[in-house]
Chains A and B, each alone.
Chain A
Amino acid sequence: MMDNLSLLVQVPVLNIQLLLDGIFVGSIFALAAYGLALVWGVMNVKNLAQGDFVIMGGYIAWWLSIDVNIWIGMPAFNFDFLWISALHISTTAIPFLEFMKPAIHPIFGLPVAVVVMFGFGWFIYITIISRVIGKDMFTSLLATFGLALVISQLLNLAFGPEVQVAESGFEVNSFFDGMVTVANIRFISLILAGLLAAMVITFMKFSRMGQAIRATAQDPRAAKVMGIDTERIYAFTFALNAAICGAAGALISMIWVIQPFFGIAHSIRSFVIVTAAGLGNLPGVIIAGLGLGVAELYSGFVFGAELQQFTVVGLLVAILVWRQIQQSRHRQPVQ
């Protein structure tokens, strides 16, 4: 550990590499965390499937970026009903439509992921989330945990458990005699993340819908009285969150790797960031997101990769304890 620290001092340029990498990935964490803060703040839903939305977005971008032979039709069906072999049913495959889907660059997959995830989010709201709003806080945690299980397993069944990457094919730039490398895709993803965040913030500030969302967050009953269709606002908010996650996922698939079961790690990251920043504190979310990205890389460097994951969860506990000490003087129950 001391070796690693002294290495940082001897070769200070490494700090630039770690900081840059941390900021690149932190910006994506912040994006997903912003979505969580949104649903948490507006509808008091703690979405444990946040990370799985991210991974799902990643899979959409990845799937679009490869050549796929699309085959639509009646699949071959071969199924022993439970163990009763008398109910053995089997049919042969009947194709309706078959064509080769061309590869689309993952950058262009990003808007597709956003749109698809928006629709998916709306669907999930109507089927599940609308029924847990207003119930005790633990309900939303558990329901979304179930959702997380289903999503990750369906992704596994659909795409297999292999680790996937969406290749951008962009150049890599070297600085300081190769000691600092910045893949262009990382830089582009930072810009895209910033752009998306700016769009969402502008939308929330100035659009009619954004104002309605903020009004609902402040006081749902008053908003309702004022003629706001809160149910629609909730649905829109949740769908917006899913869309933001989709974008984050598309970016993650281009700079890191995705796998059906990586969702939980991203969920925890979002919770760490939101807990650290507090709800409705947008600058806080951005700073905490970037901070977490940098902290992960530094701890991986200094303590070794085995403690890189620990940093995330350890920070979560540390932040909670710290806030508790901070608040212990004016203690009040949290809903």
Chain B
Amino acid sequence: MSISTKFLRALTFGVAAAGLLAAGPASAKVEGDTIILGSAISFTGKYSTNGIHAKNGYNLGVKRVNEMGGVMVGGKAYKLKIIYYDDESTPLRTAQLAERLIKQDGIKFLLGPYSSATTKAMAPITEKYKIPMVEAEGASRSLFTQGYKYLFCVISTSEQYLASSIALAAEIAKKNGKKPSSVRVAMAFENDPFSLDVRAGVMDDLKKFGMKAVIDDKLPRDLSDMSATLTKVKALKPDLLLISGHSKGAVTAARQIKEMKIKTPMIAMTHCESAKIIKKFGDSTNGYLCPTQWAETLNYSGAAFGTAGDYDKLFKATYDGYKNVPYQAAQASAAVLVWKDAFERAQSFDTEKLRDALAATNMKTFYGGIKFSKAGNNIAKPMVLRQIQNGKLNVVAPSKWASHKVDWPRK
């Protein structure tokens, strides 16, 4: 052994100093006239496309609330501000950042991360510290079966994503004089918590209609090719092709469906808008069915942003490069509005009172109704199904919201 006291003492000091350096400023939950929200979200890594959409949505929400005079609590107007960390799209990082937000930065009001995987890592921690979190991007049903009390989610849960396309397929089969159970379904889902949960929902629906899954592939993380799966599709000629793999999966699928001239009469995929596939692949995407949490054509409206259409315009004016506003951004803005509403109803910064206020949320926004079930998911808003028709996304189901008829078979 050859280390002397001096050296180790220096080391100890070094470590302590490094620790202090890492500490930086410890902001409080409310600083002066600013309420500080915290979020760990994906700026890099596999979810970052949508992570950035969500961040834009959060920022627009904050900007709008501040422009409108901020949040009124106890007769005083507070501004909103968000502290962000990058979770690198990995639950590993999310868990650490949750601790950091809560323990170091003293954040008491959280906005959710992007994706079910990271939300799943976050929820047990916020729950333990009894810190309320309003999340807008984690749709997995498993989040709402664990009895979490401090988790509130403004979006519809994942089993609803593709349910209406399956119902639509059954309807069309009936119309063509066939039994719904004769519909053969091909599925390609990414191997991650969100898509696997969507898949679980699809499996339930298939059972309900007695349909048969002829292909059930799980796409790997570093997916850049799905021609093997699509070759199977070609051979088996299913009636319905379902794809879910965040933006990456949608782009890969759209390109190869075009290149391999896949003739499946019905194709439904998640994340069409955020992947910008219409811009990238033009006419070849006509006829795709895209489930969406929100559409700018729906006649929702609320105080902060006006109608869904107004939000759409404001968003496009604020951020460059969006041909369609992804619903990931809209729901993030909605989450900020939920916080504002809860602060004003609770008239307090006490997390327990805020939790109760959040649980009692019942509001109308540009994003649709928001009302939480006991489990914390939003039950006041349906998912809608849009179809790409001549380069435009038109709502085709459910019939209450439909503005256009579905094109079948797709061209």
A–B direct touch in complex (beta carbons closer than 8 A): yes
Residue from A181, A259, A262, A305 in contact with B259 in the complex, judged by beta carbons closer than 8 Å: A181
Residue from B226, B229, B232 in contact with A7 in the complex, judged by beta carbons closer than 8 Å: B232
User: B222 and A161: CB pair below 8 A?
Assistant: no
Chain A 243-269 interface 0/1 with B at a Cβ cutoff of 8 Å (1 = within): 000000000100011110110110000
At the interface, yes or no: A163 with Cβ under 8 Å from chain B? yes
User: B260 and A308: CB pair below 8 A?
Assistant: no
Task: Say which one of B161-169, B244-252, B296-304, B352-360 lies at the interface with A.
Answer: B244-252
User: B248 and A259: CB pair below 8 A?
Assistant: yes
Q: How far is the CA of A265 from the CA of B247 in the complex (A)?
A: 19
User: A309 and B221: CB pair below 8 A?
Assistant: yes
At the interface, yes or no: A207 with Cβ under 8 Å from chain B? no
Task: Say which one of A14-22, A95-103, A213-221, A317-325 lies at the interface with B.
Answer: A14-22
At the interface, yes or no: B46 with Cβ under 8 Å from chain A? yes
B244 CB to nearest A CB, Å:
13
Q: How far is the CA of A296 from the CA of B231 in the complex (A)?
A: 13
Q: How far is the CA of A297 from the CA of B48 in the complex (A)?
A: 28
Contacts A7-B232, A25-B225, A264-B222 given; does A163 touch B259 at CB 8 Å: no
Residue from B49, B217, B221, B255 in contact with A257 in the complex, judged by beta carbons closer than 8 Å: B255
Interface residues of B in 200-218 (CB under 8 A from A): 216-218
Beta-carbon nearest neighbor of A8 in chain B: B235
Q: How far is the CA of A165 from the CA of B235 in the complex (A)?
A: 26
Number of interface residues of A (CB under 8 A): 45
Query: Which A residues are in CB contact (< 8 Å) with B259?
Result: 172, 181, 183, 186
At the interface, yes or no: B101 with Cβ under 8 Å from chain A? no
Beta-carbon nearest neighbor of B223 in chain A: A305
Query: Which A residues are in CB contact (< 8 Å) with B281?
Result: 167
Query: Which A residues are in CB contact (< 8 Å) with B191?
Result: 306
- How many chain B residues sit at the interface, stated as a range, is 35 or more
Q: How far is the CA of A321 from the CA of B169 in the complex (A)?
A: 50
A255 CB to nearest B CB, Å:
8
Query: Which B residues are in CB contact (< 8 Å) with A291?
Result: none
At the interface, yes or no: B404 with Cβ under 8 Å from chain A? no
Interface residues of B in 228-280 (CB under 8 A from A): 228-229, 231-232, 234-236, 247-248, 251-252, 255, 258-261, 263, 275-276, 280
Q: How far is the CA of A269 from the CA of B408 in the complex (A)?
A: 41
User: A257 and B252: CB pair below 8 A?
Assistant: yes
User: B222 and A309: CB pair below 8 A?
Assistant: yes
Interface residues of A in 1-20 (CB under 8 A from B): 4, 7, 11, 14, 17-18
At the interface, yes or no: B25 with Cβ under 8 Å from chain A? yes
Beta-carbon nearest neighbor of B321 in chain A: A160
Contacts A14-B231, A262-B224 given; does A305 touch B261 at CB 8 Å: no
Query: Which A residues are in CB contact (< 8 Å) with B225?
Result: 25, 256, 296, 300, 308
Query: Which A residues are in CB contact (< 8 Å) with B255?
Result: 165, 257
At the interface, yes or no: B219 with Cβ under 8 Å from chain A? yes
Interface residues of B in 128-179 (CB under 8 A from A): none
Q: How far is the CA of A257 from the CA of B248 in the complex (A)?
A: 9
Q: How far is the CA of A300 from the CA of B24 in the complex (A)?
A: 49
Contacts A178-B234, A179-B234 given; does A161 touch B49 at CB 8 Å: yes
Beta-carbon nearest neighbor of A153 in chain B: B44
User: B219 and A306: CB pair below 8 A?
Assistant: yes
Interface residues of A in 159-180 (CB under 8 A from B): 160-163, 165, 167, 172, 174, 178-179
Q: How far is the CA of A172 from the CA of B255 in the complex (A)?
A: 12
Q: How far is the CA of A297 from the CA of B231 in the complex (A)?
A: 10
Beta-carbon nearest neighbor of A259 in chain B: B248
Beta-carbon nearest neighbor of B274 in chain A: A162
Contacts A256-B225, A257-B252 given; does A305 touch B219 at CB 8 Å: yes
Query: Which A residues are in CB contact (< 8 Å) with B252?
Result: 163, 256-257
Pick 19 A–B contacts, CB within 8 A, sort by A: A7-B232, A7-B235, A162-B247, A162-B276, A163-B247, A163-B251, A172-B258, A174-B261, A257-B248, A259-B248, A297-B231, A298-B228, A300-B226, A300-B229, A304-B217, A305-B218, A305-B219, A306-B219, A308-B228
- B: residues with CB less than 8 A from A are 24-25, 44-46, 48-49, 52, 188, 191, 216-229, 231-232, 234-236, 247-248, 251-252, 255, 258-261, 263, 275-276, 280-281
- A: residues with CB less than 8 A from B are 4, 7, 11, 14, 17-18, 21, 25, 83, 153, 156, 160-163, 165, 167, 172, 174, 178-179, 181, 183, 186, 252, 256-259, 261-262, 264-265, 296-301, 304-306, 308-310
> 3 closest A-B pairs (Cβ-Cβ)?
A300-B228, A161-B48, A306-B218
